[in-house]
Amino acid sequence: MVERRVVVTGMGVLACNGLDVPKFWDALINGRHGIGPITAIDVSNHKTKFGGQVPLTNEQLAAAIGDPKAGRRKDRFVLLALVAAAEAMRSSGFKGKDWADPFRVATIIGSGIGGLSSIEAEHKVFMERGPHRVSPFLVPKMIVDSAAGDVSIAYGAKGPNYAITTACATASHCIGAAFHHIRCGQCDVAITGGTEASITHLGLAGFNSIQALSERNDSPATASRPFDKDRDGFVLAEGAGILVIEELEHARKRGATIYGEVVGYGCTGDAHHETAPDPTGAGGIACMRMALNDARIAGEQIGYINAHGTSTPYNDKGETAIVKGVFGAHARKLAMSSTKGMTGHALGAAGGLEAIASLLALRNGVLPPTINYTTPDPECDLDYVPNTARQAKVEYALSNNLGFGGHNASVIFRRFDG
């Protein structure tokens, strides 16, 4: 079997610091965050009162779904996916529903949690008004696969259509799976990535209960501080990051713009704990090595890592140790940054946002910074591109995501020079 090359031809973003790809990239390279007080819900009795909200506009919704009334039948996580997918499709040049063979177009889009706001709202209806008043739209609104299903319907994509749910590793697993579908010859095109909208009462309370969130309410702007000694937890965010990926010759024949190439994917499990990373780092090390082997490159060829970098005490030092375990002496020469200081942690959407950040870093020759890095941590002692973007021409970038449940995912991208 001849393995086919897979390239990225479309990108779409909704993040708290950018409502499309150009605005997102401008924010990243200028160190601009989108974190602030939560206004979507009353947070007066919550420990954490800030997050990364996406100011979704009616214009974006109308462009993505046509009739705004249809949006009432969909959970916010699905709406975010539809808007990001619309941008990705526009940038890809595909019209949608005009495929040469729609059964060779995959839709693989996941979410870590799914329709949490719909569950909360309809549970309140159930408790106050009884079971017969629960909305008939509840089930399609809440199930995690609704984003993949609705995007496939919107664009007539009839190929492999499913959602992967692996907490914070979700989008990277979706991208990796879509990449393999195309590389092995099963599909020619895939719409893939992740989406999340979990800034809700239960989402906020649940993460606070396991002491995962920063409680830096006096300074939300500096709360997400990956690899900094004074980090105290991640900042909950929402968003969507969607890619259109495609077989190289298929893209060339239609004259598509190519933003980069997907060359490797690794996925492993820690088999250790529901929420805590394995202190040995064995799963993360195996995951990155698997991605390198899949890409058929040496570790020394990686020039940039977009880290999972959540700003939690355990993740950041653990990921630092994992990178050292994989790359040895080369780890000291690598540039590694976490963009979560600017985007917050968008859970199941994180890998999609960070894949796009990695691709743009390769394409533009600029590495986005790790902001709010002020106090070095002796256990986090690599080059985190602190505070200011850096000009650097890099050929290969690796994007890491590590999810609750011990889910590890690594995707490797290559700069595309023709």
State the DSSP code for 2: P
Provide the token pair at 32.
């601009």
Active site residue 345: yes
* Residue 156 one-letter amino acid: G
Provide the token pair at 332.
């000291």
CB atoms within 10 A of CB 402: 30
Query: Residue 273 — φ and ψ, nearest 5°?
Result: -160, 155
Three-point CA angle 63, 69, 72, nearest 5°: 105
Per the DSSP assignment, residues forming a β-bridge with 240 are: 14, 195
CB atoms within 10 A of CB 329: 9
| 149/39 Cα distance (integer angstroms) | 30
* Residue 59 one-letter amino acid: E
Active site residue 168: yes
Which residue among 33, 181, 250, 308 is the active-site one? Answer: 308
| 91/243 Cα distance (integer angstroms) | 10
In the block, tokens 């929402």 appear at: 238
Which residue among 16, 168, 187, 287 is the active-site one? Answer: 168
Provide the token pair at 375.
């106090």
Which residues fall within 8 angstroms of residue 364, CB to CB, at 6 or more apart? 25, 29
Q: What is the CA radius of gyration of the chain?
A: 20
Q: Is 271 helix (H, G, I), strand (E, B) or coil?
A: coil
Which residue among 173, 181, 250, 345 is the active-site one? Answer: 345
Q: What are the residue numbers of the active site?
A: 168, 308, 345
